[in-house]
């Protein structure tokens, strides 16, 4: 996972959608002020999604995404449309670009319906106003725009800024759990699965927020934790651990000290904690031969003791006492829309995925009636410490059967 992709997960994702030759790429270039996409009068010039992390004033840090035409044809066209659907799942704000001279087509209206079904904020852009002055036609809410002359481009930017302020309301990881001057211990194992020379994104963000909150953040590996606890004149306000060390760390931390994990904190941060906690109970109800989907949001070289493909299946088989369970694995942008064959989904923390992507996956799982839990909450459940790890969140703790 590149640094740009890591940073981009927290940025507002703006996708430009529409039919071939509606002028999506031209409008993207006009809005960004850059030659981000190749422009041509030939339909289907954009063959793959084009992404750019940038500062878009007056909105701020965003990822702009240009997509292939939604009406692309043929076998290759179907693959391009599939890629566009993947982008749709990670979009925070959608700009639907249509040819104002032609008006909205049936394909445009179907796409608009899909965008609104996902409850996405949508901006309608009636392009080619320089050729057709009344380009918004029968869509009064559309912004009449010309990618060629720049007419209406500022109006698009201002509308994006308005929607962006609503879509990205300020959030916090643990500001309600600590006070200035508190000490918080971060337990960060450095093993074969840890990235070389850096911390993972949840660890970075948690550490930075603690500094912003004027707290003292102490970092250690699991084996140093007992000595660190003994060295403190006052107990820490909170201990936060990596999920893989949950069992070990829980045995070291007295019940008088609050304990949780990065995984639980970030599930709450992205609004997923309650459904994940509810999904943890399904681990105890798995039937013989049940099929489980283990899904990771990022792509990386799997180690010999990889958590997703090795550790979790072993822990689940041991916890359920069922050796006949079946496991399927996905990574990156892969996530099946048809989940009817699965009894449970165990998802990573999703730190490399946008909030929109994770909410879409939760919605797909809910529609299929398939429980979903993340790695950390599943591990806490299987180690018998889920209730303890949710002590900082008593309202959620009550959801545990």
Among the listed residues 227, 218, 208, the one whose alpha carbon sits nearest the alpha carbon of residue 182 = 218
DSSP per-residue codes, 45-79: ---S-EEEEEEETTTEEEEEEE---TT--HHHHHH
Cβ proximity of 73 and 107 under 8 Å:
no
Q: Tell me the pLDDT band of 42, cut-offs 50, 70 and 90.
A: very low
Query: Same domain for 138 and 227?
Result: no
Residues 126, 137: Cα–Cα separation, whole Å: 8
Cβ proximity of 249 and 258 under 8 Å:
no
Please indicate, yes or no, if residue 299 is contained in any of the structural domains.
yes
Mean pLDDT score, 74-92: 73
Please indicate, yes or no, if residue 172 is contained in any of the structural domains.
no
How far, in whole angstroms, is CA 165 from its chain's centroid? 18
Which of 4-8, 9-13, 216-220, 282-286 shows the lowest mean pLDDT across its residues?
Answer: 4-8
Please indicate, yes or no, if residue 177 is contained in any of the structural domains.
no
- Asked which of 167, 191, 207 is the last residue of a domain, the reply is 167
Domain holding 367: CATH number? Answer: 3.40.50.11410
User: Six-digit token pair at 257?
Assistant: 């000290």
Query: Same domain for 112 and 252?
Result: no
- Asked which of 219, 241, 266 is the last residue of a domain, the reply is 266
Domain holding 41: CATH number? Answer: 3.40.50.300
Query: Same domain for 126 and 99?
Result: yes
Coil, helix or strand for 295? Answer: strand
pLDDT tens-place string over residues 356-381: 888 889 999 999 999 999 999 999 99
Does residue 78 surpass a pLDDT of 80? Answer: no
Does residue 207 surpass a pLDDT of 80? Answer: yes
Residues 281, 352: Cα–Cα separation, whole Å: 26
Please indicate, yes or no, if residue 388 is contained in any of the structural domains.
no
For the sheet containing 93-99, what is the strand order? 50-56, 60-66, 12-18, 93-99, 122-127, 143-144
Handedness of CA 110, 83, 169, 380 (dihedral sign): positive
Query: Same domain for 288 and 219?
Result: no
pLDDT tens-place string over residues 62-74: 899 998 888 765 5
Average pLDDT, the chain: 86
Q: What is the pLDDT of residue 350?
A: 84
Q: Which residues contact 163 (CB under 8 A, 6 or more apart)?
A: 93, 121, 123
Q: Which residues contact 312 (CB under 8 A, 6 or more apart)?
A: 294, 346, 375, 378, 379
Please indicate, yes or no, if residue 11 is contained in any of the structural domains.
yes
Coil, helix or strand for 224? Answer: helix
Query: Same domain for 58 and 203?
Result: no
Q: What is the pTM of this model?
A: 0.74
- Element holding 303 (H helix, E strand): none
Domain holding 190: CATH number? Answer: 3.40.50.11420
Please indicate, yes or no, if residue 187 is contained in any of the structural domains.
yes
Q: What is the pLDDT of residue 293?
A: 97
- Asked which of 167, 194, 225 is the last residue of a domain, the reply is 167
Torsion (CA) 268, 270, 272, 273 in degrees, nearest 10: -10
Does residue 156 surpass a pLDDT of 90? Answer: yes
Query: Same domain for 331 and 262?
Result: no
Which of 158-167, 313-322, 369-378, 384-393 shows the lowest mean pLDDT across its residues?
Answer: 158-167
Query: Same domain for 26 and 163?
Result: yes
User: Six-digit token pair at 50?
Assistant: 């084009």
Coil, helix or strand for 143? Answer: strand
Number of domains in the chain: 3
Residues 133, 119: Cα–Cα separation, whole Å: 31
Please indicate, yes or no, if residue 398 is contained in any of the structural domains.
no
- The residue segments making up the domain with residue 249 are 183-266
Strongest mean pLDDT among 27-31, 157-161, 317-321 = 317-321
Does residue 347 surpass a pLDDT of 90? Answer: yes
Identify the residue whose tokens are 């909450």: 377
Query: Same domain for 63 and 114?
Result: yes
Coil, helix or strand for 244? Answer: helix
Query: Same domain for 187 and 152?
Result: no
Query: Same domain for 49 and 160?
Result: yes
Query: Same domain for 140 and 190?
Result: no
Q: Tell me the pLDDT band of 135, cut-offs 50, 70 and 90.
A: low
Distant-in-sequence contacts of 145-153, Cβ < 8 A, 24+ apart: 145/27, 145/100, 147/23, 147/26, 147/27, 147/29, 147/30, 148/26, 150/30, 152/125, 153/27, 153/30, 153/31
Percent of the residues in the chain that have a pLDDT greater than 70, as a whole number: 87
Q: What is the pLDDT of residue 2?
A: 37
Please indicate, yes or no, if residue 262 is contained in any of the structural domains.
yes
Query: Same domain for 280 and 223?
Result: no
Mean pLDDT score, 138-159: 90
Percent of the residues in the chain that have a pLDDT greater than 90, as a whole number: 55
Q: What is the pLDDT of residue 3?
A: 36
């Amino acid at each position: 996972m590149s640094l740009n992709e890591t940073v981009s997960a927290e940025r507002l994702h703006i996708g430009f959608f529409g039919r071939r030759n509606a002028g999506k790429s031209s409008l993207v270039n006009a809005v960004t002020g850059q030659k981000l996409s190749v422009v041509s009068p030939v339909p289907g010039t954009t063959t793959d999604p084009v992404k750019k992390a940038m500062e878009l004033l007056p909105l701020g840090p965003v990822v702009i995404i240009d997509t292939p035409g939604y009406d692309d044809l043929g076998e290759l066209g179907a693959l391009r449309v599939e890629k566009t659907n993947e982008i749709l799942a990670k979009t925070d704000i959608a700009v639907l670009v249509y040819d104002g001279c032609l008006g909205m087509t049936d394909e445009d209206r179907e796409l608009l319906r899909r965008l609104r079904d996902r409850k996405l904020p949508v901006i309608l852009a009636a392009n080619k106003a320089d050729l057709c002055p009344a380009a918004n036609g029968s869509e009064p809410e559309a912004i009449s725009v010309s990618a060629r002359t720049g007419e209406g481009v500022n109006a698009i930017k201002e509308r994006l800024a308005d929607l962006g302020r609503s879509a990205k309301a300020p959030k916090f990881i643990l500001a309600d759990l600590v006070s200035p001057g508190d000490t918080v211990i971060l337990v960060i194992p450095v093993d074969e699965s840890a990235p070389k020379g850096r911390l993972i994104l949840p660890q970075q963000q948690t550490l930075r927020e603690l500094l912003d909150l004027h707290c003292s953040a102490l970092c250690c590996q699991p084996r140093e934790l007992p000595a660190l606890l003994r060295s403190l004149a006052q107990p820490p306000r909170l201990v936060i651990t990596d999920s893989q060390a949950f069992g070990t760390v829980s045995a070291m931390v007295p019940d008088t000290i609050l304990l949780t994990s990065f995984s639980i904190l970030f599930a709450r941060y992205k609004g997923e904690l309650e459904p994940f906690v509810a999904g943890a109970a399904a681990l105890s109800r798995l039937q013989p031969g049940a099929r489980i989907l283990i899904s990771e949001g990022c792509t990386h070289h799997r180690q010999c003791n990889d958590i997703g493909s090795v550790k979790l299946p072993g822990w689940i088989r041991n916890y359920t006492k069922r050796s006949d369970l079946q496991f399927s694995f996905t990574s990156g942008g892969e996530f099946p829309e048809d989940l009817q064959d699965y009894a449970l989904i165990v998802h990573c923390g999703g730190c490399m995925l946008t909030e929109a992507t994770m909410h879409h996956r939760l919605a797909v799982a809910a529609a299929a009636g398939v429980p979903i839990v993340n790695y950390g909450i599943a591990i806490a459940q299987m180690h018998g410490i889920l209730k303890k790890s949710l002590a900082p969140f008593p309202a959620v703790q009550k959801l545990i059967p």
